[in-house]
Amino acid sequence: MDQHYNFAFLDERTKKRIRRALLKAVAVPGYQVPFGSREMPFAYGWGTGGVQITASIMGKNDVLKVIDQGSDDTTNAVNIRRFFARTTGVATTSKTREATLIQTRHRIPEVPLTEAQTLVYQVPMPEPLAKLEPRRQETIKMHALSEYGLMHVRLYEDIAQLGAISHAYDYPVMVNERYLMSPSPIPKFDIPKMHMNPALQLFGAGREKRLYAIPPYTPVRSLDFEDHPFEVQHWEHACALCGASESYLDEMIVDDAGSRLFVCSDSDYCEDRRDAGHVGTQQAVTLTPSPQEAA
């Protein structure tokens, strides 16, 4: 631990203010609470909102896990984990089950969370109505009066133009049947996991200076139409490494012929399964016949 910094980098008064804002956010699920976001030694877009929340709630006995796109080994995850290891000296892990505090970008772990865990999301744009209604004052009013018809206009437009609701990530949700909320850019595959989750879920947007929360066991519902119900993604293939058919899969093109390798996005989950003896096909699949074959 680097003694030149206060515990978890931020000064105590800042952390206290963020915790006060978090209390309000937990009391009003889905409501965006403004907070005095600080400059962090990261660029905006690297999770400054999530990092500030993590810093504010972290205790000496916490075990931290950081996820970026499901993986513990990507640049964002490695750097944030090292940042906290250096400024707090807390234990870090890549195992979902061992962690008490999980900061995440783009994914919710496949392993079900427990009441003892807290999930912190990094949010680029906290306002789900921003693209439809650019005026901040107007969106505040719409939240206050629960006027969310506009969001359905967007979904209608998707179906009219593309035949289906095209939001694959950042899919708008209703929290506790009251506030419309952006779930951060997680795939819509993960949204059912938010519903009645035993873990506390906190969301921080550093640039936009707002944070919000979903307390444990809070209903979260995806918006949809009666005749175009919400659906999560499905894959025709299983993970090539561990054979999992129920997890969120990344699709990688591995050669010039367009062969695709499907692997679990959650690296910890995949590793656990392989340790337990599950084996996938270990090979890429060819989805379409190559031009030569077709000819």
Write out the catalytic residue numbers: 30, 239, 242, 264, 270
Read off the tokens for 213.
């929360």
Count helices and strands in the chain by DSSP H and E runs: 8, 13
Binding residues for other proteins restricted to 208-237, rule: CB under 8 A = 224-228
Pick the piece of the chain touching other proteins (CB under 8 A) from 30-38, 47-55, 148-156, 260-268: 148-156
Query: Under the criterion CB under 8 A, does residue 111 sit at the interface with other proteins?
Result: no
110 vs 99, 107, 120, 267, 276, CA distance in Å? 14, 9, 15, 10, 16
58 or 191: CB nearest other proteins: 191
Nearest to 80, CA basis, from 13, 38, 71: 71
Judged by CB under 8 A, which of 27, 140, 153, 196 binds other proteins?
153
Pick the piece of the chain touching other proteins (CB under 8 A) from 35-43, 88-96, 157-165, 181-189: 157-165
Pick the piece of the chain touching other proteins (CB under 8 A) from 145-153, 243-251, 255-263, 274-282: 145-153
CA distance 167 to 187: 9
113 or 155: CB nearest other proteins: 155
CA distance 242 to 256: 25
Nearest to 149, CA basis, from 212, 225, 210: 225
Site of interaction with other proteins (CB under 8 A): 141, 145, 147, 149-150, 152-154, 156-157, 159-161, 224-228
